[in-house]
Structure 1
Amino acid sequence: MHAPETEPRAEAQGRRAHRRNPSPGLSTTIQTVARRVHFLAGILVAPFLVVLCLTGLVYVFSPQIHENLYRSDLFVNRAEGTPRSLTDQIRAALTAHPESKLKSVVTAPSPDRTTRIVLSVPGPAGTPDRTVFVDPYTGYLNGELSTVENRLPANTWLRQLHSNLHLGNPGRLYAELAASWLPIVVVGGLVLWLAKTRRKRRPREVFLPAVRDKKGWPRVRAMHGALGLWLTVGLVAVGVSGLTMSQFAGGRANGAADPLHLRAPVLTATPVPIPAGVRQIGIDQALGIGRAAGLSGELVVTSPTSPGVPFTVTEISEGLPIHRGAVAIDPFTGTVTERIRWSDYPVLAKLSTVAAEFHTGSLLGLANQIILAVLAVATLVLIAWGYRMWWIHNPYRGRWASLPRPVARRLPRPALITTLLGIAVLGAMLPVFGASLVVFLLVDAGVGRIKRPKKPVAARVSPRPAPRPAGSEG
């Protein structure tokens, strides 16, 4: 009599485990993805965020640095009397620098400020301009500095430090990498914190958890989660506003392309016919026409570079209310040939302009600077606590179980397809994010392979002996 065929023990255990662990629901799936992304991406991106916070903390106060560093250039000795014409001030600057040509004039934003006469200097492409600071009351030259796009030397240096670490275009990748991942890491952490505390009855435990009775990892996690919750809106705003000034985000890898209309419209300044026997108007007249057209605040007046090219007058004042108007003026008749108003900006261009001013700390003045400084310092503390949590459950101390499990093999097919489609859209709009995501997935797969336990060798299971008939001999 043959023994009945028995089911292998390993297979039976696997079926029982499958019945105990059904497919995860939507909430569990979201938490799984959030934990994986927040943990690994946070560790990889945090060093770049630290550099951005430190450099941004200095850059945001560049206006105060300028006023102290270049005070003798920027301010007049006495704001008394009637200001001289722009023509006289330009003549004084060109007399001191006859080798240069007039490029533009930046009007004084207030009565106690000097006029900036921007001169183009002979030299190879990319040579900085020479800006001469003229006292409008006396015609005295207070000083001169090399400037780039009307930015003072300290501002240019700090801006490049923050945006590319003085490495040029390749260096811009580090800033865009951090700005691309920051909102994703923040949202992932927010999902984890709210999912962990959603059963708390008192909202106070969500925003201000008690930490006196906690020690070690629970204490650090409570502080890290609560601080991250408070910083969520600010960090997302900083990340998104930084992307508005990035090199590749929004399909702007090609400098001439702007598929989402994120850039501000610019004047075409189409040349006009040159009439015979008609003299060209002066720069003072062009400034007066610009002001009569409704432009106010600090203005940049650009003189014609060749016959028939119009004058242009552009608003550059920062802060609220937004000043972004511009006009082109016929140099012979004085008529406005082209006009751009703030209302002419596309919606996304308006949002991009406001976001850029917020990111640089100029939208709300000193209050804006303080907000950004607090965000930078708080982010450094948040990152420090995050690394502390990681160190307590340090994988290099033999605790691989503390790492989140790989996600791809655990997601239901619909959730996996939706996630991949979302990643594809983000990758198209944020190329640096898309490229870094490939690296992230490779690292994620590598960590998963290291964590994966080796399959135990299946023990041989002998079939149970058949029952003996009654009365048989032993």
Structure 2
Amino acid sequence: MSAPALEVDRTDESTRPDRLSVVPLLRRLHFYAGLLVGPFLLVAAISGMLFSLAPQIDSVLYGDVLAVSSAEGTPRPLAEQVAAARADLPDGTVTSVLVAEDPDATTRVVFAVPGMAEEYSKTVYVDPYTARVRGQLTTWFGSTPATTWLDNLHSNLNLGVPGTLYSELAASWLWVISLGGLVLWLGRRRNARRRVRALLVPEKGAKGVRRTRSWHASIGVWVLLGALFLSATGLTWSTYAGENFTAALTALDAKAPVLDTALPGGGAAASGSGEHAEHGGTTGSTGPVDPLAFDRVLDTARGAGLDGPLEITTPAEPGTAWSAAQVDNTWPIRLDKVAVDPAGSTITARSDWSDRPFLAKLSSLGIQAHMGVLFGVANQAVLFLLAASILTMIVLGYRMWWQRRPTRADRRAPFGSAPKRGTWSRLPLWFVIPAPLVLIAIGLAIPLLGISLLAFLALDGVIGLVRSRAKPSAEEVTAS
């Protein structure tokens, strides 16, 4: 199951105390993982639900900026649109222009502004039919302020780098809790004829904690694959596990190829400068830029077969070409790129989606699906329901913890107790021997999971040892 299962089932423990099995340890680990990681998953689920609605939120908050008032007529040349944006933000430096495919969308002219963090930009939105500016926003890699805030809330609680530990810890444990819950639930289904129904459908007529556990488990089975997907894709761009994933792609030569923007001889053509540059030209990252170069690059890219939404980027360094890249992340995706020398309207290099290694493609598709853009509205709906289901399971898990609390007057407690100790002594040899190697491998691949798991096992073992030594002493005092 993909959220904390906090139930404490002691049936097997009491009836077969000497049986060797990993289930008691798994049950105890599942309990504490759900109890302690549950709050992180709770925040991740709520913020994920909100982020899945980001496009709709943007439409409500920035609809007058993102969309044109009337999509009639023929779009004006990019040179006019860029000039209008430049007049609206004279202190900025044009770095890229996003030409939308949607006829109702505005053209986005992105500027680097002095004093602003490198990852942030000022984006001016221009009506392509009138070349009039509709507004400007501070953007983060193209995202609006609202989407940026929701993204950071989900990934780091808007706390920056330190906050990323929360999301990585949640993603690291999500798959462990999910698979562990499934194993525990399968172990309870001893009647093979009714096993499938019991796995997928809540127990009919159950009451109390049995009813809660049944709903928790059944929902978990339905969302299991989705939870594993969220865990895997979330880890790919996390801080520590993400670095390991990137290193693995590099070692396997499976990263997406980088577009070669170097120009033969490194001439001034990289900036697209010419006779128009001295008369009303804009300033790019490498110096004066001829506004007409945007149209030449656009026409060259379209002629090379790059349809759909297109991002045109000015040269990053002297002696380099412009780049034009498809930015359509909706399936079927269009992510081809070309390097263009606007002086001669020639393509100097190309990098197509089909050229990417399989793992690079899989990683890219997974990230886009995780962000809810790969399949459009359907993708958003699935993510919203998945997050809502995980949220429900977390609440049901904590409810089970409360329902299993002792209620007798002589042993009343506000919460249920944890599964019994002694799980170490019941582990079979086939599990004990490879366990250290498995823990080391997990710790190296997913550091936060390895560290927290090792801490739990060590603390649980120490506490158990201390209590086992204290017990004889207490019995001796009672006897005397």
TM-score, normalising length from structure 1?
Answer: 0.84
1:415 aligns with 2:431: yes
1:129 aligns with 2:124: no
Bigger mean CA offset, 334-343 vs 252-261: 252-261
Instruction: Give how far 1:311 is off.
Output: 0.5
Match of 1:393 among 394, 404, 412: 404
1:294-313 alignment runs, 5 A limit: 294-313=305-324
1:349 corresponds to: 360
1: distance between equivalents of 2:357 and 2:80? Answer: 39
Note closer, same or farther for the CA distance 1:133–1:209 as it changes in structure 2 (3 Å cut): closer
Answer yes or no: is the 8 Å Cα contact 1:251–1:429 preserved in 2. Answer: no
Note closer, same or farther for the CA distance 1:68–1:125 as it changes in structure 2 (3 Å cut): closer
2: distance between equivalents of 1:256 and 1:73? Answer: 42
Match of 1:85 among 77, 100, 125: 77
Helix, strand or coil at the partner of 2:223: helix
2:385 corresponds to: 374
Instruction: Give how far 1:191 is off.
Output: 0.3
Instruction: Give how far 1:106 is off.
Output: 0.5
Answer yes or no: is the 8 Å Cα contact 1:264–1:353 preserved in 2. Answer: no
Bigger mean CA offset, 442-451 vs 283-292: 442-451
1:328 corresponds to: 339
Answer yes or no: is the 8 Å Cα contact 1:263–1:352 preserved in 2. Answer: no
Letter in 2 for 1:220: T
Answer yes or no: is the 8 Å Cα contact 1:250–1:429 preserved in 2. Answer: no
1:147 corresponds to: 139
1:7-86 alignment runs, 5 A limit: 24=20, 28-29=21-22, 31-86=23-78
Instruction: Give how far 1:133 is off.
Output: 0.6
1:318 corresponds to: 329
Structure 1: gaps spanning 5 or more residues: 1-19, 460-474
2: distance between equivalents of 1:101 and 1:361? Answer: 31
1:15 corresponds to: none
1: distance between equivalents of 2:123 and 2:386? Answer: 34
Q: Deviation string for 1:59-86 (max 9, x for gaps)?
A: 1110011111111111111111111111
Instruction: Give how far 1:238 is off.
Output: 1.5
1:208 aligns with 2:201: yes
Helix, strand or coil at the partner of 2:339: strand
Instruction: Give how far 1:97 is off.
Output: 2.2
1:463 corresponds to: none
Note closer, same or farther for the CA distance 1:238–1:279 as it changes in structure 2 (3 Å cut): closer
Letter in 1 for 2:302: R
1:455 corresponds to: 472
1:185 aligns with 2:177: yes
Note closer, same or farther for the CA distance 1:401–1:200 as it changes in structure 2 (3 Å cut): farther
2: distance between equivalents of 1:256 and 1:301? Answer: 31
Bigger mean CA offset, 309-318 vs 217-226: 217-226
1:208-357 alignment runs, 5 A limit: 208-212=201-205, 214-252=206-244, 258-259=250-251, 264-274=256-266, 282-357=293-368
Helix, strand or coil at the partner of 1:397: coil
Note closer, same or farther for the CA distance 1:306–1:402 as it changes in structure 2 (3 Å cut): closer
Instruction: Give how far 1:350 is off.
Output: 1.3
1: distance between equivalents of 2:25 and 2:365? Answer: 33
Letter in 2 for 1:61: L
2: distance between equivalents of 1:210 and 1:373? Answer: 26
Helix, strand or coil at the partner of 1:185: helix
1: distance between equivalents of 2:302 and 2:399? Answer: 58
Bigger mean CA offset, 96-105 vs 132-141: 96-105
CA RMSD of the aligned region, Å? Answer: 2.9
Answer yes or no: is the 8 Å Cα contact 1:248–1:431 preserved in 2. Answer: yes
Instruction: Give how far 1:429 is off.
Output: 1.2
* More relative contact order, 1 or 2 (CA 8 Å, 6+ apart): 2
Bigger mean CA offset, 87-96 vs 322-331: 322-331
Answer yes or no: is the 8 Å Cα contact 1:308–1:331 preserved in 2. Answer: no
1: distance between equivalents of 2:52 and 2:71? Answer: 29
1: distance between equivalents of 2:123 and 2:416? Answer: 60
Letter in 2 for 1:334: S
Q: Deviation string for 1:186-229 (max 9, x for gaps)?
A: 100000111110324223233224341x3322222222222211
1: distance between equivalents of 2:245 and 2:192? Answer: 46
Query: Structure 1 vs Structure 2: percent identity of aligned residues?
Result: 40
Answer yes or no: is the 8 Å Cα contact 1:211–1:223 preserved in 2. Answer: no
1:432 aligns with 2:451: no
Note closer, same or farther for the CA distance 1:443–1:219 as it changes in structure 2 (3 Å cut): farther
Note closer, same or farther for the CA distance 1:349–1:406 as it changes in structure 2 (3 Å cut): farther
TM-score, normalising length from structure 2?
Answer: 0.83
Letter in 1 for 2:339: A
1:5 corresponds to: none
Note closer, same or farther for the CA distance 1:448–1:319 as it changes in structure 2 (3 Å cut): farther
Helix, strand or coil at the partner of 1:265: coil
2: distance between equivalents of 1:308 and 1:273? Answer: 7
1: distance between equivalents of 2:90 and 2:476? Answer: 91
Bigger mean CA offset, 40-49 vs 280-289: 280-289
